[in-house]
Chains A and B, each alone.
Chain A
Amino acid sequence: MTTADLQAVWTRPFERRMPPVTEIGAASMVAVVVGVIYLSAYLPKRAPLGVAVAMFVIAAALQLTNAVLIARLRDFAWRRFFQVARWALLAYAVIAGVIEYAFIYDHTHGDLLVVMTFGLVLFMLNVPVLIAFTVARYEATRPSSPSSAA
């Protein structure tokens, strides 16, 4: 059986409707970037943390929404999703580690360090999800029920 034959039986990835995970992830990233730019614009002085915290909370809420949307997916290539997410997370954990080192090296401390680290963690978690979702959504999967094959 060729892939084309399999795709006739299985759900063809290209035609499958998916929730707007990429768009929500991008919006979350915008919130993180705004928070980080706001904090960085005050350096080396201390920025009022309220705006940054609000931005990071919005970003976290958007990522949580994404997690719920992805968890509710049926006929999704979960194995591929976790395979890609795992390796991407490793790569972004290294990048986040280098950035965290720079924060500490530049004598960032106290609640500012906590807020910056929170933003960094959001960034580190968001990108692997977006990469893994984009890869997994184009994987052919066997539909679990006739109605979900449409």
Chain B
Amino acid sequence: MAVAAEAGRASESAAQRPSVQIVPVKGLPIVALVLAGVVVAITRNQTWGLTFCHVVGGGLWTGIDLFVGFVVGPILARMTIAARVEFSTRFMPMMLLIMPTIVTMTLAAGFQLARLEGFLDTSNPRHGWVVASFCVVGVMAVIALAYLEPANVAVLFELRKLEPDGDVIAKLMRRFVYTAGITGVMQISTLLIMTKLAS
């Protein structure tokens, strides 16, 4: 009943809600610039460029996952549906651009760095840690691509409706919060693996 009442209030606030843009078009040139930078670093086999892309991208990816999973997520779970709608309208489109970009940046540069440093070679004593990082990234990729991203896009489409369904938003946001929490936990193991590789 409370959910239905909240959904009603969410519907009432539809008129005041900012218009939802699924993909923030203004951000696309920045994404193109970042990806071009990664391609240049890979093509030139430039250690500094690759390290920069991997460290900056990885730092942002880990930081955002931990922050969303352990700080934003629990706060969001306790907010009213109307407040979640308000927050998601502004938050989700940005995540839709930021996360795939920094993930691509981190993984592409990281793989090339591992190749250059010889970590990919099975005879390298740190090879096991690289394979462990592949496994962690694999689990995170499945969670993010199969559950988190579809929920993110579906919330945005629901918010574009004249009268969004509060139940649908609540369900999808719950999925978003849980999966963000799981990827947050996985990021702790990434930190352990990466510090082990670097030391």
How many residues of chain A get a CB closer than 8 Å to chain B's CBs?
42
Chain B residue contacts of A98, Cβ below 8 A: 35, 39, 104, 108
| Contact indicator B122/A42 (Cβ below 8 Å) | yes
Bits for A102-128, please: 1 = Cβ < 8 Å to B, else 0: 100110000000000000000000110
A134-B153 contact, Cβ under 8 Å, with A29-B142, A105-B43: yes
Cα A2 to Cα B164 with chains together (Å): 11
Q: Does B40 make an interface contact (CB < 8 A)?
A: no
Bits for B89-122, please: 1 = Cβ < 8 Å to A, else 0: 0000000000010001000100110010000111
Q: Which residue from chain B places its CB closest to the CB of A127 in the assembled complex?
A: B145
A130-B167 contact, Cβ under 8 Å, with A98-B104, A98-B108, A105-B43: no
Bits for B64-83, please: 1 = Cβ < 8 Å to A, else 0: 00000000000000000000
Which of the residues B122, B146, B162 comes within 8 Å of A29, measured between beta carbons? B146
10 residue pairs bridging A and B, Cβ less than 8 Å apart: A3-B163, A14-B168, A33-B138, A37-B135, A41-B127, A84-B157, A102-B42, A126-B145, A134-B154, A138-B158
| Contact indicator A25/B146 (Cβ below 8 Å) | yes
A138-B154 contact, Cβ under 8 Å, with A3-B163, A26-B147, A105-B43: yes
Q: Which residue from chain B places its CB closest to the CB of A137 in the assembled complex?
A: B154
Q: Does B171 make an interface contact (CB < 8 A)?
A: yes
| Contact indicator B157/A105 (Cβ below 8 Å) | no
Bits for B146-184, please: 1 = Cβ < 8 Å to A, else 0: 110111011001100111010110011000000000000
Cα A106 to Cα B165 with chains together (Å): 48
Which of the residues A3, A33, A126, A133 comes within 8 Å of B162, measured between beta carbons? A3
Cα A132 to Cα B138 with chains together (Å): 22
